[in-house]
Structure 1
């Protein structure tokens, strides 16, 4: 199984919470009491379906084949005001950066960002109250209790947005996977044609003094990605969570570097204008083809407000300087 088929960033699950247990309508009886008052206990609440963050997980693969998640029902109340047992909760562990939304309405319910953070996605039904709650001066022996509340059944979507410090943005074949394979231990599939990367690849880049940061190679954007062309929007959403965006434009592009950069920028803006506020760095890749004179010519046309660097992952040119630049941007 290649890494591609292991990366699952979207699952749709039917969550059914437990019914609440009914309250008890018991009247107290023992050897000394023939006609005691009401002492029926409350029913237990139905089990919740809970989503819990787990920092050790990277994908939603383990939930891919779990189409139905069913929590336990609460038990009925007992005599002597004993409450029924709470229904069994079902816990779905998810990677950090997972968003839960209602499948029918598309409404975002919550987002999980911390290890161990828990949120109830489908609450269990409340248990019914026992008959002792309904005792009044005029009705001292109520012979009824409350039924438990029904559980709920919802279709929900869990969707992963990668949490990375640096997201690589560029057209297919801009050298993103190659860079990732050089600066980290990640082993993305690399070939000399567009769309080799079909799933986001994450790599941990080790930096000076045992520090490190996470870099994500997001599949290439093509013009029109924001309208859903190519692999478009499905991957643009991963960029939302990166703190710094590294734009990569190859030195051998058919357009000018600035034109290509502007197209990439426009795609992000069309998709989500808030992405325009993220720090950006521009790397001109495959720079081993350039001599000094050509490089100086190119520099004149580069966009002015973005820190830039010429690199070659293959020739290991400018890689250390790139890490320094990214580290400064991440920690601004």
Structure 2
């Protein structure tokens, strides 16, 4: 694929994107966007997603990939070893996970093991990645991670994942101070709701406990589940993929209706922000959280 005119200065840059699971992944949208601008892109993925990722790599020969479990120190070291020689210009962390209990239980009732796992994968893994990748990061390189609005506002259905995202944003700020001495910038992108494999998992997690749903304050979640049941009768019992997709569509439509720009967010929207943060146009932007949410985070339209 011929890259467009390189106004962003991305051609030939070494880009690493962690967290690709399938074609719907925000991480994959970011990876292909950088590749389309002439960057040399390497993605990292978990072994359990290999069958899906392999098909993606066949479709995009301008993107390479390798296994990288951020909880496995050996895999991290092996993944980043080649970049100690070539250098790295852009690093994208798009990794998060929480067990269902983190979404459905009251914060004070979440078990320590669940909280530890949620924090370790969603937030602390960025520190683990930076520790290994830091020697390869060139001056004026860019690091970015994916956050969510629940980091700054309490979303009851997001539970302890919101706490982990808050920690991630704090880590971003402290890394910006540390790495700024080497002219490396560190930022977070906070998208609105995006339909991805991960978002399907969140729907399944949130709806896994009917008693927890009944206790949720507000009507958004209950109305969304009811809309899914109207479209797919009995879906909240079977929790089929068709039902999850219906719930997700209704959620995004409802959220879009209360945004200043009345539209849903796509992986391409997030990728556009990532291109900017990876380019020379954002050279003096660091320690920030950039919201790509059609204005949801800055407004109250009810």
TM range (shorter): 0.3 to 0.5
TM-score by length of 1: 0.33
Structure number with the higher helix fraction is 2
- Higher normalized contact order (CA 8 Å, seq sep 6+, divided by chain length): 2
TM-score by length of 2: 0.36
Larger Cα Rg: Structure 1 or Structure 2?
A: 1
Structure number with the higher strand fraction is 1
